[in-house]
Amino acid sequence: MPPMNGTFDYIAGDTIVALATAPVAAGVAIIRISGPEAWSVGESICSALKGASVRRAVWGKFKFGSEELDEGLAMGFRAPASFTGEDVVELHGHGGKAVVQAVLEAVLAHVVRMALPGEFSRRAVLNGKMDLTAAEGLADLIAAQTDVQRRQALRQLDGALGERFEGWRTAVMHLLAQVEAAIDFPDEELEVLSAPALTKGMHQLMGTLQDALGEQAGARVRDGIAMAIVGKPNAGKSTLLNLLTGRDVAIVSDIAGTTRDVVTSMLDIGGFPVTLADTAGMRATKDVIEAEGVRRARLQAQRADVLVLVVDSTLGEELGPDFAELLLPGRTLIIMSKADRVDMDFPPQITVDGVEYPVVAVNLTEAEAFGRILPVLSRMVAAVGGEASESALLTRQRHKQAVEEALKALGQALKGMARAGTDDGSVAELVAQDLRDAAAAIGSVTGRTGSEDVLDVVFSTFCIGK
């Protein structure tokens, strides 16, 4: 088989093949062929495909020459009505390693090569079947582990995020059209560039883009909401991790300083993906390994979207400044552990620096603690990721970078506009160029503008077969 890892260049006219289903033993495996030779190759392997209607499955033997390899369904599509926009043939055979290998080799005996990572989607983008954000949405949909992730990815696949970026690009183009009028009529440059409608339009668009940059929920839902459990040694942090995950993930003992590494576990809380991190108990220590654990614990607390502070209620201590400074307003739950060992009433919340934090007092070693803690955490998680369940949010760093670039170019344009009439030469041309830069930055997100490099970066993270 030819190498699978980008050793050859991307050539759009090639016919490509890959296993579209997972490479594990399964009832069915789908091998997908795309490109000008798809039908001829498909027909040579499965003769039942000859003369078959498009998008109609036919049953037949899969053969290489006279040798029978497998039997199953074959289905063909004609350009442009296919996923890639090219001729496509799918062979639905049995999902065994040797079967798949044999059929792939039979396909590769023709003028066909293995697809590069993401090449099917890349062709779909190049053939105008979907934009880049939709392709990213498709990758996210395949990777989605929770329901909110699935919904967000599906919305992006349906083009909602692409439409949002297209809307912004169109807004820039409208501004550009106004500025270009000043290039054609230099005498009116000052008038055009200082027109209130133009300035207002610029400010409005920049405000919208600034707001979009501030969105966190999209990326948090895609990458997982970070929840950290912190507290003093022996407080019951690892007991809480095990309770929430329902598994014996971390070692629990009555020796203070048991946990030293960060122990993480994925959780689905109300459809939101949560990365839960148990950490080393925070205390001053001479032990270098424990000290490193404490440093990492602090880092987790600082990066957390939701913080759980576990406090041993038997110690009857005040919350020290070390912990007070870690608290995130609205996103911190304080758990008073070992409530079974003390005889007192706990307030439902405590106030630190004028901010109220909910308190749950429990016995972490009893299962019923779960039902008291989860609702509070669910509420906080939903508050952090909530927006993502209904709007098309920026989900990747790439989206934010493009918006930042556009904002920079628009800021530049505004500065230029302010100079109109004060300079000797014309500034309209420069302002127009800034606006074109802004439009290009925004357009690179959908793939409408930009180079092959952008495509390389996006699709290199895809798997083969997508």
Ligand X SMILES: Nc1nc2c(ncn2[C@@H]2O[C@H](COP(=O)(O)OP(=O)(O)OP(=O)(O)O)[C@@H](O)[C@H]2O)c(=O)[nH]1
Q: Is 35 in the site for ligand X (CB under 6 A)?
A: no
Residue nearest to ligand X (CB): 281
Q: Is 363 in the site for ligand X (CB under 6 A)?
A: yes
Closest contact distance (angstroms) between CB of 238 and Mg ion is 3
In this structure, are strands 272-278 and 263-269 parallel, antiparallel, or unpaired? Answer: antiparallel
466 binds, among ligand X, Mg ion, none (CB under 5 to 8 A by kind): none
Closest contact distance (angstroms) between CB of 151 and ligand X is 35
Q: Is 254 in the site for ligand X (CB under 6 A)?
A: yes
447 binds, among Mg ion, ligand X, none (CB under 5 to 8 A by kind): none
Q: At what angle do helices 119-126 and 132-143 cross, to 10 degrees?
A: 150
Closest contact distance (angstroms) between CB of 13 and ligand X is 60
Residue from 237, 331, 400, 466 touching ligand X (CB under 6 A): that is 237
Q: Which of residues 206-235 bind ligand X (CB under 6 A)?
A: 231, 233-235
| Candidate segments 116-124, 190-198, 231-239, 329-337, binder of Mg ion by CB under 5 A | 231-239
Q: Is 265 in the site for Mg ion (CB under 5 A)?
A: no
Q: Is 32 in the site for ligand X (CB under 6 A)?
A: no
341 binds, among ligand X, Mg ion, none (CB under 5 to 8 A by kind): ligand X
Residue 249 or 350 having the CB closest to Mg ion:
249
Burial string for 373-407 (b: 16+ CB within 10 Å, else e) reads: bbebbebbbbebbeebbeebbbbbebbbebbebbb
Residue 338 or 466 having the CB closest to ligand X:
338
Q: Is 201 in the site for ligand X (CB under 6 A)?
A: no
Q: Is 258 in the site for ligand X (CB under 6 A)?
A: yes
Residue 156 or 259 having the CB closest to Mg ion:
259
How far is residue 456 CA from its own chain's centroid?
17
| Candidate segments 176-184, 230-238, 290-298, 441-449, binder of Mg ion by CB under 5 A | 230-238
In this structure, are strands 263-269 and 225-231 parallel, antiparallel, or unpaired? Answer: unpaired
| Candidate segments 138-146, 149-157, 253-261, 298-306, binder of ligand X by CB under 6 A | 253-261
Q: Which of residues 329-358 bind ligand X (CB under 6 A)?
A: 337-338, 340-341
Binding mask 285-324 for ligand X (x = CB under 6 A): ----------------------------------------
Residue from 38, 103, 198, 252 touching ligand X (CB under 6 A): that is 252
For residues 124, 126, 127, 131, the Cα torsion angle rounded to the nearest 10 degrees is: 60
338 binds, among Mg ion, ligand X, none (CB under 5 to 8 A by kind): ligand X
Residue from 239, 265, 300, 332 touching ligand X (CB under 6 A): that is 239
Length of the chain: 466
Number of residues that bind Mg ion (CB under 5 A): 4
Q: Is 238 in the site for Mg ion (CB under 5 A)?
A: yes
Closest contact distance (angstroms) between CB of 251 and Mg ion is 7
C-alpha to C-alpha distances, 126 to 62, 162, 178, nearest whole angstrom: 31, 15, 31
363 binds, among ligand X, Mg ion, none (CB under 5 to 8 A by kind): ligand X
Q: Is 60 in the site for ligand X (CB under 6 A)?
A: no
Residue from 259, 313, 332, 389 touching Mg ion (CB under 5 A): that is 259
Interface residues with ligand X (CB under 6 A)?
Answer: 231, 233-239, 252-254, 256-259, 280-281, 337-338, 340-341, 363-365
* Contact footprint for Mg ion (CB under 5 A): 237-238, 258-259
